[in-house]
């Protein structure tokens, strides 16, 4: 009997199969409850309403980004949430100012008192 050839009935299992993968220690599990998110937002001096929006949004998606990718660090997601909230607030402010300016000037140069009895 040749020792170099494995027995036909024996399954060959690679050596690395039994090594378990070590989980990263920097990963934060999802928050336990809304209070944990609120306390994090208070510590960062961010609005409480944004904490509620953040928690409700990700709670509804199962703490996944785009419904597919599991959130690894919810603190980082919260920081991104607040950056985006500030961008949106600035954009709304800019758009409302431009809207008011366009309302003040007459872009079409039309008269305000129109006579609808005249044919076109």
CB 95 within 8 A of CB 101: no
- Computed over every residue of the chain, the mean pLDDT equals 80
Say what the pLDDT of residue 20 is. Answer: 61
Q: 109 falls in which pLDDT band (50, 70, 90)?
A: low
| 24 pLDDT tier (thresholds 50, 70, 90) | low
Could you tell me the CA-to-CA distances from 13 to 18, 20, 35 in Å, in that order? Answer: 9, 15, 48
Instruction: Name the DSSP letter for residue 116.
Output: T
Q: Please spell the DSSP secondary structure of 34-68, one letter per residue.
A: HHHHHHHHHHTT--HHHHHHHHHHHHHTTSEETTT
Percent of the chain at pLDDT above 90? Answer: 46
pLDDT of 84 strictly over 70: yes
pLDDT band at 119 (very low <50, low <70, confident <90, very high): confident
- d(CA 92, CA 53) in angstroms, rounded, equals 18
pLDDT in tens, 44-57: 999 999 999 999 99
**Rg of the chain taking only CA atoms, in angstroms:** 30
Tokens of 83: 């950056």
């Amino acid at each position: 009997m040749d020792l170099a050839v494995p027995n036909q009935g024996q399954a060959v299992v690679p050596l690395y199969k039994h090594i378990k993968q070590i989980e990263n220690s920097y990963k934060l599990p999802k928050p336990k409850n809304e209070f944990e998110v609120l306390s994090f937002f208070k510590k960062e001096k961010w609005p409480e309403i944004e904490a509620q929006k953040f928690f409700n949004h990700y709670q509804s998606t199962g703490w996944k980004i785009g419904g597919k990718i599991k959130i690894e660090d919810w603190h980082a997601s919260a920081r991104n949430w607040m950056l985006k909230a500030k961008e949106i607030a600035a954009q709304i402010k800019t758009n409302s100012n431009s809207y008011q300016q366009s309302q003040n000037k007459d872009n079409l140069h039309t008269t305000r008192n129109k006579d609808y009895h005249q044919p076109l």
